[in-house]
Amino acid sequence: MEQREVSSTRYDYLSANLWSGILFGLGMVAFIDETIFHQLLHWHHFYDKSTTGIGLISDGLFHAFSWFATIASLFIVADLRKKGGYWFKRWWGGVQLGGGCFQLYDGTIQHKFMGLHQIRYVDNVYLYDWVWNSIAVLMIATGSYLLVATGKKAHVWRLAKK
């Protein structure tokens, strides 16, 4: 009986699971980008059109944003777990969707339209762009699939409850 109540409670918190996942996905992808491409490989800064000092400041702000999103999402997860409404599959769909959307936004808007920076400053940057954006699309597709599947399951449960 207790397990049924806990598992059915998650259907009441679909959007909280989704938004917590989206925030975590944004924070996770931003953190990976910052750590690997900015700090370890030194391929670029968040803003490359000024001095190195300005680039480092922009990296710091970007890093703060990623941690703010991650920590905020974990507070929501803690609240969901306390209420018995945490649904990992739906949350993971949100993580994939949020991370993929952030990565696609970064790869198209920030890299190409705004020209803030490139993934890497090489002659054939299009190979890097293709891989970066393909991973983003794959994440978006995976997240969308999981969110549709959990949404259908919740819909069926609500119909059966009536």
Q: Is residue 49 one of the residues assigned to a domain?
A: yes
> How far, in Å, CA of 69 to CA of 58, rounded?
17
* Tens digits of residue pLDDT in 53-93: 776 777 778 889 999 999 999 999 999 999 999 999 999 99
Residues in the chain: 162
Q: Is residue 98 one of the residues assigned to a domain?
A: yes
Residue type, 12: D
- Is 50 exceeded by the pLDDT of residue 4? no
Q: What is the DSSP string of 132-146?
A: HHHHHHHHHHHHHHH
Domain count within the chain: 1
Q: Is residue 162 one of the residues assigned to a domain?
A: no
- Is 80 exceeded by the pLDDT of residue 129? yes
* pLDDT number for residue 96: 98
* pLDDT number for residue 3: 44
> How far, in Å, CA of 49 to CA of 55, rounded?
8
Which is higher by pLDDT, 120 or 10?
10
HEC profile for 83-116? HCCCCHHHHHHHHHHHHHHHHHHHHHHHHHHCCC
Q: Which domain holds residue 109?
A: 2-157
> How far, in Å, CA of 52 to CA of 12, rounded?
48
Q: Is residue 142 one of the residues assigned to a domain?
A: yes
pLDDT-based confidence at residue 147 (cuts at 50, 70, 90): very high
* Tens digits of residue pLDDT in 13-65: 999 999 999 999 999 999 998 888 777 777 666 666 667 777 677 777 888 99
Token reading at 107: 């790869």
Q: Is residue 30 one of the residues assigned to a domain?
A: yes
